[in-house]
A and B are shown apart, each in its own frame.
Chain A
Amino acid sequence: SAVISQKPSRDICQRGTSLTIQCQVDSQVTMMFWYRQQPGQSLTLIATANQGSEATYESGFVIDKFPISRPNLTFSTLTVSNMSPEDSSIYLCSVQGYGNQPQHFGDGTRLSIL
């Protein structure tokens, strides 16, 4: 399966600042996704990162708060904007090949907001 690298692996940020998380895959993939995982909780889909066009956001998530880029088939970024303590969470990138294939996850970015 694809090797997925996420950076940074963790960060501690001040309230009101923004952080950009990078996701790099070692092979071209069809789909890239961003999830949020609260401590001890399941995975919640934030958005699907579309190559060359605007991301598709799930209910409760908006582009102004979580802008996403996907300039090519192997790279995507998620920005968490104007952070508050409620944004403290694990942010996970996942990738999927064409068709009904499994998603594969990176190791996530552990974000704490002070």
Chain B
Amino acid sequence: GENVEQHPSTLSVQEGDSAVIKCTYSDSASNYFPWYKQELGKGPQLIIDIRSNVGEKKDQRIAVTLNKTAKHFSLHITETQPEDSAVYFCAASKRVGNTGNQFYFGTGTSLTVIP
């Protein structure tokens, strides 16, 4: 089965600095990699995703990179703000059956942005 590792488990940055969270996966069949942000008392919310035919994707202050050969992908947040403080989860997904995908989640990174 798939094994997704995520590092670091906790991360503190000063407001305005960049934050980077890294994940590795083991199954070369995984072809879709979403990132979720979970705020206290809420469910995980999709913030950005990348598919295996793309190496990088950017959405304003958030970017994700994917290295299929090395089987790792990273989340980059620039110009961090206090509202970026949350727990972030990476996931690797592969097709299962005819209609769905199996998602495998990382262990999460608790990001704190210090004002």
Chain A residues near B106 (CB-CB < 8 A): 42
State whether A100 touches B89 (Cβ < 8 A): no
Q: Is the CB of A102 within 8 A of B34?
A: yes
A100 touches B43 (CB 8 A): no
In contact, A42 and B89 (Cβ under 8 angstroms) = yes
Q: A34 an interface residue at 8 Å Cβ cutoff?
A: no
Task: Give Cα A94–Cα B43 distance, bound, in whole angstroms.
Answer: 9
Contacts of A102 in B (CB 8 A): 32, 34, 46, 49
Q: Is B25 close to A, CB under 8 A?
A: no
Contacts of A103 in B (CB 8 A): 34, 46, 103
Query: CA separation between A101 and B46, bound complex, in Å?
Result: 11
Q: Does the CB pair B32–A43 fall under 8 Å?
A: no
Q: Would you call A107 and B42 a contact (CB within 8 A)?
A: yes
Stretch at the interface among B14-22, B54-62, B74-82, B93-101: B93-101
- Judge whether B73 is part of the interface by a CB distance below 8 angstroms: no
B-contact 0/1 string along A1-16, CB 8 Å cutoff: 1001010000000000
A15 to chain B, nearest CB (A): 25
> By the criterion CB–CB under 8 Å, are A92 and B101 in contact?
no
Contact (Cβ within 8 A) B43 A45: no
Interface presence of A112 (CB below 8 A): no
Are A100's CB and B46's CB within 8 A? Answer: no
Question: What residues make up the interface of A, taking CB atoms closer than 8 Å to B?
Answer: 1, 4, 6, 30-31, 41-43, 45, 48, 92, 94, 96, 98-108
Closest 9 CB pairs of A and B: A105-B43, A107-B43, A31-B100, A43-B105, A42-B107, A105-B44, A102-B34, A102-B46, A42-B105
Q: Which residues of B contact A (CB under 8 A)?
A: 31-32, 34, 36, 41-46, 49, 51, 89, 93, 95, 99-101, 103, 105-108
